[in-house]
């Protein structure tokens, strides 16, 4: 009988302590399907866009002028360029027509190059 009482006491004591054998087991972890790992591919930077092309207007063509009495290279440079000091441009463009800057004859057709 002693054994029966001891066994009963042991059972009560185990219940009082919360016997691990009586507790429900924790749920097993659920393994989720492995998500595919996305690796971002590092691409080289795109080349910079091309610079816009700036179109230069075509250089104006030389105009022609017929010398009138009283015209000088100095006065013609002032009229066409707004600066009389640029008379040498007209002279250099017409060396075949003007023997010297002081010997310009009326009626001579001159080339007036564009202003630089």
pLDDT in tens, 20-50: 555 666 777 776 666 667 667 788 888 888 8
Residue that has been written with the tokens 């302590």 in this structure: 17
Q: How far is CA 112 from each of CA 33, 63, 86, rounded to the nearest angstrom? A: 86, 5, 11
* pLDDT tens sequence across 63-109: 999 999 999 999 999 999 999 999 999 999 999 999 898 889 999 99
Q: Is the pTM of this model over 0.75?
A: no
Residue that has been written with the tokens 């564009």 in this structure: 114
The answer to whether 113 touches 62, Cβ cutoff 8 Å, is yes
CATH 2.30.29.30 matches 63-112: no
H-type alpha helices, the chain: 2-17, 73-81, 87-93
The answer to whether 77 touches 87, Cβ cutoff 8 Å, is yes
Angstrom distance (rounded) from CA 39 to CA 82: 69
């Amino acid at each position: 009988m002693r054994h029966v009482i001891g066994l009963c006491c042991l059972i009560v004591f185990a219940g009082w302590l919360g016997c691990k054998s009586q507790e429900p087991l924790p749920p097993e972890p659920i393994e989720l399907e492995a998500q595919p790992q996305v690796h971002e591919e590092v691409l080289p930077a795109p080349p910079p866009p091309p610079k816009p092309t700036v179109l230069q207007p075509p250089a104006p063509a030389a105009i022609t002028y017929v010398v009138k009495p009283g015209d000088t290279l100095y006065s013609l440079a002032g009229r066409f360029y707004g600066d009389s000091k640029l008379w040498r441009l007209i002279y250099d463009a017409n060396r075949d027509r003007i023997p010297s800057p002081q010997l310009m004859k009326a009626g001579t057709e001159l080339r007036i190059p564009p202003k630089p």
